[in-house]
Amino acid sequence: MAVDLTPRQPAKAYGGDGGAYYEWSPAELPMLGVASIGAAKLSLAAGGMSLPSYSDSAKVAYVLQGKGTCGIVLPEATKEKVVAVKEGDALALPFGVVTWWHNTPESATELVVLFLGDTSKGHRPGQFTNFQLTGSSGIFTGFSTEFVGRAWDLKEDDAAKLVSSQPASGIVKLTAGQKLPVPVDADRKDMALNCLEAKLDVDIPNGGRVVVLNTANLPLVKEVGLGADLVRIDAHSMCSPGFSCDSAYQVTYIVRGSGRVQVVGPDGKRVLETRIEGGSLFIVPRFHVVSKIADASGMEWFSIITTPNPIFSHLAGKTSVWKAISPEVLEASFNTTPEMEKLFRSKRLDSEIFFAPN
């Protein structure tokens, strides 16, 4: 039975003056459930704060817009890391990590963060479950005052007052004068990589650029079990048809720009052909071949791949598998002439992965 691969926008889950949390649902994007992938987006207004929480899933966070602060408490850590974040930053968030996010009161833009992760061990395949530590839906609202008081060594009245003092749920807007910890430069080491400033793994003039997030440049990726990349292609450029050759799913969020995408699956059948625009998310099933062509605006996307060090095979360009296959096999496979084989092999000798418009 075919699964609908149509790109989707997220729906608002909750929020208020401080911002909102949006999520993609497997009911709307069935491939999320099939691949056990979760996808969500946090948008914080100036002064907005996402209260401390943890998730049932390992994730990669990518800052789509703005700048702010992220607090991170790793499992068994005795002190939080306070990291300054800005557009282009990617962070790997393993299981058990407690995080909070804040957009500065003087900010002129929203702080927008994308979350993509593995929900195979979560409560709901294809959707994150977040556990709030405080607020009206905080964990300790479910315990009796006796248990809370014993846990924190407080009188029951004080415990009840503390637990009920934050009426908001998930996201708040700090009042004037409220202060949060100042980011520490040393805390950023091994916690974040800016994909807009990092060394390029691929750079094709007039074609496109790639930064790959893996265990070499962000060690926590190994614990998360996901790889990621940021791809930017220029106006009317094409991304070579290719597939993940290590049984991985590819989950792609279009950061900005627009273009066309085609995905081909078993039996040579095209399973997706559509236009994609900024803000949309789609998933490429395992071993399916995908290719994209940008509009005049170019196109930028952030993807996770469900393995920490993904391997791709391309079917066009100088790194194409066809360049490695012998001429005789190519002739027989296409049932073509030696002349056509020579013409075919003579093309794309200098281009790899991205093809600039003619």
Tens of pLDDT, residue by residue over 201-234, are 999 989 999 999 988 899 898 889 888 999 999 9
Kindly state the average pLDDT of the residues 316-327: 82
Q: What percent of the chain has pLDDT over 90?
A: 75
* Residue-wise DSSP of 143-177: S-HHHHHHHHT--HHHHHHHHHS----SEEEPPTT
Average pLDDT, the chain: 92
Superfamily of structural domain 11-135+170-188 = Jelly Rolls (2.60.120.10)
pLDDT tens string 168-200: 999 999 988 899 999 999 999 999 999 999 999
Q: Tell which CATH architecture fits domain 195-313.
A: Sandwich (2.60)
Q: Identify which of 199, 203, 275, 277 has the alpha carbon closest to the alpha carbon of residue 233.
A: 203
| Per-residue pLDDT tens digits for 85-120 | 999 999 999 999 999 999 999 999 999 999 999 999
pLDDT digits (tens, 9 = 90+) for 147-156: 999 999 999 9
pLDDT band at 1 (very low <50, low <70, confident <90, very high): very low
| pLDDT tens digit sequence for 271-303 | 999 999 999 999 999 889 999 999 999 999 999
Give residue 312's pLDDT: 72
Where does 66-207 show beta strands of DSSP type E?
67-73, 81-86, 89-93, 98-102, 111-118, 130-132, 171-173, 192-194, 202-204
**44 close to 110: Cβ distance less than 8 angstroms:** yes
310: pLDDT confidence band, cut at 50, 70 and 90? low
pLDDT tens profile 36-74: 999 999 999 999 999 999 999 999 999 999 999 999 999
End-to-end CA distance of the chain: 39
**Domain 11-135+170-188 matches domain 195-313 at the CATH topology level:** yes
Spans of all domains in the chain: 11-135+170-188, 195-313
> pLDDT grade, residue 243 (50/70/90)?
confident
The model carries a pTM of: 0.92
- Asked if 63 and 87 count as a contact pair (C-beta separation under 8 A), the reply is yes
> What is the Cα–Cα distance from 130 to 144, expressed in whole angstroms?
21
